Amino acid sequence: MRRNEHVEESPRELVPVSPRHHEKPLLRVRTQAGVTVAELHGEIDIQAVQSLRPCLDTLTGDGVGALALDLRGVRFLDCSGLALLVRAHRRVTERGGSWALVCDHPLTLRILRITALAPVLGPAPTLEQALDSVRPPAGSASAEE
């Protein structure tokens, strides 16, 4: 078989000729126990960061209270993704908000340790632990959605 050919025995066993088209990351935002929870999914690379940054900037803008960023659905995180996390953390803390990071992926945790960002970003393995570590803003509803 030549290098640029592919084999198709059935539609589910297609071997692509080129790498898969970049999958757009998913950002789902909800409120739980008075804390804004932003769940990221997919691959967080430079292309994804370009679309995620404005959304996270809105979440971390003036009036930010408590934010939990959930990375459990992230399969890949590059240096631009790390920069996005640091930016979000800085924006939340500079505005007097509370920050929590949820991460249980071994490779992402390793990257956070190697880059010395683990102590700064404080990843928790579960959402419950992350929510326990942040305080919702005064006067916010604490009902779960």
Torsion, Cα 14 19 22 23, to 10 degrees, reads 30
**pLDDT tens digits, one per residue of 20-59:** 445 666 899 999 989 999 999 999 999 999 999 999 999 9
Q: Can you tell me the distance from the alpha carbon of 79 to that of 82, in angstroms, rounded to the nearest whole number? A: 5
Q: What's the confidence (pLDDT) of residue 139? A: 54
Structural domain spans, the chain: 24-131
Query: Residue 43: CB partners within 8 Å, gap ≥ 6?
Result: 22, 23, 25, 74, 75, 76
The encoded tokens of residue 41 equal 């999914």
- pLDDT per position as a tens digit, 88-132: 999 999 999 999 999 999 999 999 999 999 999 999 999 999 999
Topology given in CATH for the domain delimited by 24-131: Transcription Regulator spoIIAA (3.30.750)
CA gyration radius, the chain: 18
pTM (predicted TM-score): 0.76
Q: Please report the pLDDT score of residue 132 as a whole number.
A: 93
Average of per-residue pLDDT across 48-77 = 93
pLDDT at 21: 44
* Residue where the block lists tokens 């005064």: 138
Q: By the 8 A CB rule, do 26 and 40 touch?
A: yes
Residue 39 · residue 70 · CB < 8 Å:
yes
| Alpha helices, DSSP H, located in the chain | 46-59, 79-94, 106-114, 118-121, 127-133
